[in-house]
Structure 1
Amino acid sequence: MKIEFQFDLDEARRKLKAFERKSEQDILKAMQKVEAAALEEAVKRAPIDEGNLQLSLQSKTEVRFRAYVAIVYVATNSPASDYALVMHEDDYELGPLSQQKQAALPGVRVGHKYLERAFTEEKAKYVKILETELKEAFRAD
């Protein structure tokens, strides 16, 4: 007596490729949500004088070395480009508008390292976004 089991490798490969494409799209969408949240956090932390710095903050998600990277930045051609780095790197006393902004946002520190802190201080928030989005994307149907 002989019993055989046949497995179609070509069909399995097609399904795996389709799953891989969908997975990459799902991961990209999740990282774009992290990007949007990080931009929002950077805007909260950016010092304010005339408001140009807040308005000049931009974000994007890129693929680098097979990894998705959420980026928040000030473009070199933006109205705030000439002082964005100084406001990020230097120590300074907050002006009246920055002080008002900080008072209106309990638990948020406005000023020095506003971009860096948008990522480091909210890491748990971004991990939660990824967990939530990817759990839904990869749940078994």
Structure 2
Amino acid sequence: MISMKVTGIKANILRLRNIEKRVHENARKTMHASADRIVQTAKKMAPVDEHNLEEAIAKKVGYEGSRRRLAIDIVIEPTVNGVRVEDYATFMHEGDYKLGEKSQAKNDSQDETVGPGFLTRAAEPEEEKLKARLVGVIREEVAE
């Protein structure tokens, strides 16, 4: 007769539960950091006059669905410092225009290009980086 004893099951179950929690927490931190980078880059790329447009760019955090999944949006607040910037922001993002004096000076003083599409251009390079970072978070926790 062959007998076998299995040990360590409780420890493995606990390890798997901890992996799930760590992956979730590290993925959340990774998403927040990515959104923060997009906001900072978009502010650098945004045209400037009185700085209201730059200050209106923000990270909006919420939770969606029955499982309350983290949802982070980069938005332009419609009003900032008592000034309605919504229409101005739309034109500055979507319009065809030449940079004003302050925007041109900002453009000349940094590597980021100031002008149309500032939100889109700030987000595009972050997309693939975020995917890679999230995969890395999972791999790191599973490999431990």
Question: Given that residues 23 and 138 in structure 2 are in contact (C-alpha distance below 8 angstroms), is that contact kept between their aligned partners in structure 1?
Answer: no
Cα RMSD (Å): 3.0
Q: Distance in 2 between matches of 1:30 and 1:134?
A: 8
Identical pairs, percent: 26
SS state at 1:92 partner: coil
Q: 1:119 to 1:90 in 2, by over 3 A?
A: same
Partner of 1:35: 35
Q: Structure 2 CA distance, aligned partners of 1:13 and 1:70?
A: 31
The residue matched to 1:47 in structure 2 has which SS? coil
TM-score, normalised on structure 2?
0.76
Q: Aligned-pair distance for 1:140?
A: 3.7
- 1:118 maps onto 2:130 in alignment: no
- CA 1:36/1:136 → structure 2, altered by over 3 Å: closer, same or farther? farther
1:10–1:133: structure 2 CA closer, same or farther, 3 Å change rule? closer
The change in CA–CA distance for 1:93 and 1:63 in structure 2 (over 3 A counts) is: same
Query: What is the TM-score when the length of structure 1 is the normalising length?
Result: 0.77
Q: In structure 2, what residue type is equivalent to 1:82?
A: D
Q: Residue type of the partner of 1:17?
A: R
| Whole-Å separation in 2 of the counterparts to 1:83 and 1:31 | 29
Determine the C-alpha separation between the residues in 2 that align with 1:33 and 1:133: 15
Aligned to 1:60, the other structure's residue is in SS state strand
Equivalent of 1:97 in 96, 102, 105: 102
- Which portions of structure 1, spanning 4 or more consecutive aligned residues, are displaced by more than 6 angstroms? none
SS at match of 1:72: strand
Q: Is the 8 A contact 1:35 1:60 kept in 2?
A: no
CA deviation string 1:28-80 (max 9, x = no partner):
00111111111111011000011111111111355557875542211223332
1:33 and 1:68 map into 2 onto residues whose CA distance is 13
Cα contact 2:32–2:72 (8 A) shared by 1: yes
Q: 1:133 to 1:113 in 2, by over 3 A?
A: same
Letter in 2 for 1:45: M
Count of residue pairs the alignment pairs up: 139
Pair 1:84 & 2:71 matched: no
User: Aligned in 2, Cα 1:101/1:139: closer, same or farther, shift over 3 Å?
Assistant: farther
Segments of 5+ residues of structure 2 without an aligned counterpart are none
